[in-house]
Structures are given as C-alpha cells and as structure tokens.
Amino acid sequence: MTGRIFAIEEFAVFDGPGIRVNVFFKGCPLRCRWCHNPEGLSGNRQVVHSPNGCMNCGACREVCTSPDACVLCGKCITACPRGLVRFAGDDWESEALAKRILRLKPILQHGGGVTYSGGEVLMQPDFLCEMLDKTAELHRAVETCGHGRAEDFARMLARVEFVYFDLKVMDAEKHRYYTGVSNERILANAEVLMHSGVEHIFRVPFIHDVNTDDDNLQHMARFLAKSPVTPQIEFLAYNNMAGAKYPLAGLTYNETFEQPYPEDIERAKRWLGDYKISFRK
C-alpha cells in the first residue's frame, strides 16, 4: 500500500522516548490558525519554494507553462540554480518506508523508536496501520489531533505503545472557530485513549487569550478527571515563528497570537496542578 509523506526526520528527540525516526504524514483535517507546519495541511503533492537564499532571478517562473494550476511537471525544481524549489509529499510503498526506518534499528532499539506524525496520521488510516504492523519490532508512537473515525482510532490504538494527543480548546464552538472543526469527535477519542491502557500525553498548544482562560482550563481539568490514571499534560508555548513557513507553501499567515503570559501558566498550574504537567517554550 502507498501513503503520502512530507518529511522523514532521523535522530529526533522530542516526540517520544529516546532517539527516534519521525515520519510526517501529508494532509490534515484541521486548519488551526496557529499551525506552524503548512506543508502538512494539504493532502496533495505540491511544489514548495524556500524563500531563504532566493536571489529573485525568475528562472523558476520562466520555465513554468502552467503558473495558475501547477501540473507538478518539476521544471521549476530543475531550473532553480540554488536548489530552493522542491516537491512536498512523496508517495512511499509501506514496504520501502519500513525498510528505510528499520535500517536504523540498531540505534532505535535502545530506548528509542519510530513516531508517526503529520499533518494527521488518521487521514491515512490503512497506510498508518500497515506501517505500524511493519515496524512492530520498534517502540511505536503516534502524534494525533484525534479527529478521525472511532474505528480507525481503535485500530491505531491496538498497534501503538505511546500516543501524543492534542487538546486545543474545550468549547466546541470556539474549537470550530480556531481549527475549522468541532471537537466532539476529538473528545470522544480522547476518552477512549484515557481508558485504553496505552501510555499517552495530552499536548496543549498554549496560546494567550485562546485557551489560557479559567473557563477553558477548568473545563479541561473536569474532562481529564475522567481518566482512570493520572493524566500527563504537556503545554507547548505558542511558536512565535509559526508564520515563517507559509510563503514556502504559497500561503499567507495573518495571525497575531501571543505566547502565554506568566499568569497564564500560573492559572494552568492552579487548575491542573494535580496532574503531571510540564511547560515547554
């Protein structure tokens, strides 16, 4: 089976225990206003331009015969003298991708493993399950926004050792405003995860005035209290560089979010301090 991947990162250390290979699935059903990975949004293969180092020579534009609707001919890629143009989204056979990951097994098997991330892994559930099966000899983690069909979520859970699950905003309408979708399905899957026995951490992108208020934190505390184990929560401060990659994918970033204030962090500790919480800048 074939799946679409937009990046493979070797020797990664932040997305699971030990040294890992991170595999980024292309395509996401959410449109979080603070997303810092615009390459992962569309499920389609696309051409991306790195703005860093561009001398504006125009060679990439001159060779293009279809500027209004890219036909993925690749001419602009070969035309750029600086190698700044590339495809994002390669189609991989599961067998070949598993072989590439398992090549590093002698390193990964000592406390590390493989992490499947995105985009959103649940956008390609059959391919994900096949990859999880083919790399079962490693520690397998996934990072998910949780917006997938219940049956796909269950299939995935049956095959992993570790899950990072994003919790963004607890109010359904506010969630829709900031991400484009309601959070009903996400919260239902989060509850399944809590009761699954699979080790997991809830990750909260922490953004001033988006989800740092008492209402949201109280709601989150009430929700996590349903867990039969002490929940682990990792707050990730809003990334001030979130917009940096948008020109790369031909997109514009117009948001002006802020990192959490010290009092936001204090408020989170007040509401969620009974759990295992950590904050990452």
Q: For residue 135, give every residue at least 6 positions away whose Cβ sits within 8 Å of its Cβ, in sequence order, or none.
A: 98, 101, 102, 114
Phi, psi (degrees; rounded to nearest 5) at 29: -80, -10
Piece in contact with ligand SF4 (CB under 6 A), picked from 66-74, 139-147, 246-254, 261-269: 66-74
Q: How far is the CB of 88 from ligand SF4 (least distance, A)?
A: 12
Among 8, 19, 59, 237, binds ligand SF4 (CB under 6 A): 59
Q: Is 154 a residue that touches ligand SF4 (CB under 6 A)?
A: no
Q: Which of 63, 187, 192, 249 binds ligand SF4 (CB under 6 A)?
A: 63
Please check whether residue 132 is in contact with residue 159, taking contact to mean a CB–CB distance below 8 angstroms: yes
Summarize the chain as % helix, strand, coil (round to 5): 30, 25, 45
- Per CB under 6 A, 229 contacts ligand SF4: no
- Burial zone of 68 (CB within 10 Å; 0-12 exposed, 13-18 middle, 19+ buried): exposed
In whole angstroms, the minimum distance from the beta carbon of 244 to ligand SF4 comes to 17
Applying CB under 6 A, does 58 fall inside the site for ligand SF4? yes
Residue 60 found at the interface with ligand SF4 (CB under 6 A): yes
- Give, in order, the Cα–Cα distances in Å from 122 to each of 29, 74, 138, 155: 9, 29, 20, 10
Cβ–Cβ under 8 Å, residues 87 and 44: no
Report, in Å, the least distance between residue 91 CB and ligand SF4: 16
210 binds ligand SF4 (CB under 6 A): no
- Given 41, 48, 80, 121, the residue binding ligand SF4 (CB under 6 A): 80
Asked if 248 is part of the footprint of ligand SF4 (rule: CB under 6 A), the reply reads no
Minimal distance in Å, beta carbon 223 to ligand SF4?
45
131 binds ligand SF4, rule: CB under 6 A:
no
One character per residue 172-191, x = contact with ligand SF4 (rule: CB under 6 A): --------------------
Considering only residues 84 to 123 of the shown chain, the ones binding ligand SF4 according to CB under 6 A are 84-85
What single-letter DSSP state applies at residue 39?
A: G
Residues in the chain: 281
Q: Which is nearer to ligand SF4, 62 or 191 (CB)?
A: 62
> Is 19 one of the binding residues for ligand SF4 (CB under 6 A)?
no
| Residue 68 interacts with ligand SF4 (CB under 6 A): yes or no | no
- Give the whole-angstrom CA distance, residue 165 versus residue 170: 14
- Amino acid identity at 119: G
Angle, alpha carbons 34-199-214 (nearest 5°): 45
Other Cβ atoms less than 10 A from the Cβ of 170: the count is: 19
User: Minimum Å distance from CB 89 to ligand SF4?
Assistant: 12
Q: For binding to ligand SF4 (CB under 6 A), which residues are involved?
A: 47, 49, 54-60, 63-64, 66, 70-76, 79-80, 82, 84-85
